[in-house]
Amino acid sequence: MARLPFVDTHVHFYDLRAPQLRYDWLAPGGDPGETELVGDYGAIRAEHYRAEDFLAETRFQNVGKVVHVQAAIGTEDPVQETRWLQAFADRVGAPHGIVAYVDLAAEDAAEQLDRHRAFPNFRGVRDLRYDDYLTDDAWRLGCALLDGLVLCDDPFVEQMGAARRLAEALPGVTFCVDHAAYPGFGGIPRSADRADFDAWRAGLRELAGAGNVVVKISGLGMSDHAWTVDSIRPWVLACIEAFGTERAFFGTNWPLDRLYSSYGDVLDAYGEIVADFTDAEQRALFSGNAERVFKLGEAAAR
């Protein structure tokens, strides 16, 4: 079956030998809590997974463009990761978009952003944290600096109201809900009862009430390690129902989700789930929306 062109909106590259970068999440032992949820990273803990490795692995999957999301967790200067990624983009053509790390609550958040902006493929920020950040005044001030950029975030169900209010207060920022709002990390595993699923879906619908919020359907293997097309179908369709085919798009969370499947399996599952959608809707979900949201037509990568 011929695949539609695909823009992968969530990949992670790394190089454990790069002296300027750190990847605390890949360190032996890691975070025991995260390991319990995600699984043993040992299967993907190679010395490196760089742009060339991704392009080689996906060469027959019709991947047109790629968005890299912060991976060098623990690096003293996060701009070093953006510099490293831009060098790949200039040399081999990927990644086309870069979502970098900025501590949005820091006093030097504006300076960090200015330094990231010097790189042409910089498109947004992920400040990954699991505290009361959405109501923290310093963090919200940092968010206000993101006008014209994408903020990738993953609020828990109980935080979705605060996330919507933040998005409504910052109409110039595109608020991207990562990994379908982590069903599983937020307490909604595969075996969730109907009440949990309904609460998650209601939260998504509330978030979707802000027109500058979009949803990235990706990383579902982290919540469902033995997933099947049927087991992820309700989560995928609930995202699309909440945001419509104009504000939802797909990603893979590669290579992390290789712990649970092959790359082609993920794309085939998405394709089967939306097979009854119109051709225009499928193209929007697989590539068009991501191109627009991350402004990939403006990327300097060749």
Count the neighbouring beta carbons within 10 Å of the beta carbon of residue 173: 22
pLDDT at 32 exceeding the cut of 80: no
Task: Give the list of residues 6+ apart from residue 132 with CB closer than 8 angstroms, or none.
Answer: none
> Which residue type, as a one-letter code, is found at position 292?
R
Does an H or E element contain 266, and which? helix 263-273
Lay out the sheet containing 97-100: strands in order across. Answer: 6-11, 63-69, 97-100, 122-126, 150-153, 174-177, 213-217, 248-250
pLDDT at 300 exceeding the cut of 80: no
| Residue 192 domain-assigned (yes or no) | yes
| Residue 1 domain-assigned (yes or no) | no
| Residue 69 domain-assigned (yes or no) | yes
Query: Rounded to whole angstroms, how far apart are CA atoms 188 and 182?
Result: 8
| Residue 61 domain-assigned (yes or no) | yes
Confidence of residue 31 (pLDDT cuts 50, 70, 90): low
pTM, rounded to two decimals:
0.94
User: Helical H runs in 76-222?
Assistant: 79-92, 109-117, 137-143, 160-169, 194-208
Confidence of residue 46 (pLDDT cuts 50, 70, 90): confident
pLDDT at 205 exceeding the cut of 90: yes
Question: What is the chain's percent helix, strand, coil content, to nearest 5?
Answer: 45, 15, 40
User: What domain range is 188 assigned to?
Assistant: 6-298
Per-residue pLDDT, averaged over 146-161, amounts to 95
| Residue 133 domain-assigned (yes or no) | yes
Query: Rounded to whole angstroms, how far apart are CA atoms 269 and 210?
Result: 29
| Residue 94 domain-assigned (yes or no) | yes
Token pair in block for residue 94: 């990927």
Per-residue pLDDT, averaged over 190-214, amounts to 87
Angle CA(269)–CA(219)–CA(278) in degrees, nearest 5? 40
pLDDT at 188 exceeding the cut of 70: no
pLDDT value for 1: 55
Per-residue pLDDT, averaged over 120-126, amounts to 98
Average model confidence (pLDDT) for the chain? 91
pLDDT at 208 exceeding the cut of 50: yes
**pLDDT tens per residue across span 213-235:** 999 999 999 888 889 999 999 99
Write the CATH number for 198. Answer: 3.20.20.140
Count how many domains the chain has. 1
pLDDT value for 223: 84
pLDDT at 187 exceeding the cut of 80: no
* Class of residue 57 by CB neighbours under 10 A (exposed 0-12, middle 13-18, buried 19+): middle
| Residue 271 domain-assigned (yes or no) | yes
Tell me the range of 65-69, 185-189, 230-234 where mean pLDDT is highest.
Answer: 65-69
| Residue 104 domain-assigned (yes or no) | yes
